Amino acid sequence: MTAFELIRALAHDTAIGIVVTDPVIEPPGPTILYANAAFGRLVGRELDDIVGQSPRFMQGRETRRETLDTFHRALAAGERFHGYFTNYRPNGTKYRAEIDCRPLRAADGRIESFVAFEREVLRRLGRPAGNASGRYELTSVSNDTLTGGLRALGVFEHS
């Protein structure tokens, strides 16, 4: 079983958005190979309209170019990326997403695909706590098994 197959088997019912792309990072890639139902709800689209697209379709005016460049560099270097984005749903509403993206490697070290765990966060009003996660709060709390497992694995860092 590849890492991708394992994720697909576990991702179905979790409340965290999970999306897997191919390893092609230059446009028109990366291409979405799989997204779970929670990802469809996060981005406001049917899964049939998501698979085959590049994740850039969520970007808009307030999506920071600087953050995208950092993301692009991390993908090119085969490193993990953790950050916060402003993205848009097809009806024009914007939302903040926390993204934790990692390469999935074959046994020989080659990158086979990328997986991102994504969830909606709200910017906290008032003075931020020290680190970036102190500036955001979750829009919903999930307690399903995979969410607990991802927390144990350090995905999103601060649960």
Cα–Cα dist 119/100, whole Å = 9
CB of 66 or CB of 127, closer to ligand FMN:
66
What are the start-end ranges of the H helices in the chain? 3-11, 37-43, 65-77, 145-152
Using the contact rule CB under 6 A, the part of the chain among 110-118, 121-129, 138-146, 147-155 near ligand FMN is: 110-118
Going through the chain in order, the beta strands assigned E by DSSP cover 17-21, 32-35, 81-88, 94-105, 111-123, 136-138
Cα–Cα–Cα angle for 156, 152, 124, nearest 5°? 30
Instruction: Say how many residues touch ligand FMN, by CB under 6 A.
Output: 24
* 52 in contact with ligand FMN (CB under 6 A): no
* 74 in contact with ligand FMN (CB under 6 A): no
Cα–Cα dist 54/51, whole Å = 8
CB of 139 to ligand FMN, least distance (A): 15
Cα–Cα dist 151/48, whole Å = 29
* 35 in contact with ligand FMN (CB under 6 A): no
Instruction: Name which position in 7, 11, 16, 19 contacts ligand FMN (CB under 6 A).
Output: 19
Binding site for ligand FMN (CB under 6 A): 19, 21, 25, 27, 30, 54-56, 58-59, 63, 68, 71-72, 75, 85, 87, 97, 99, 101, 114-116, 118
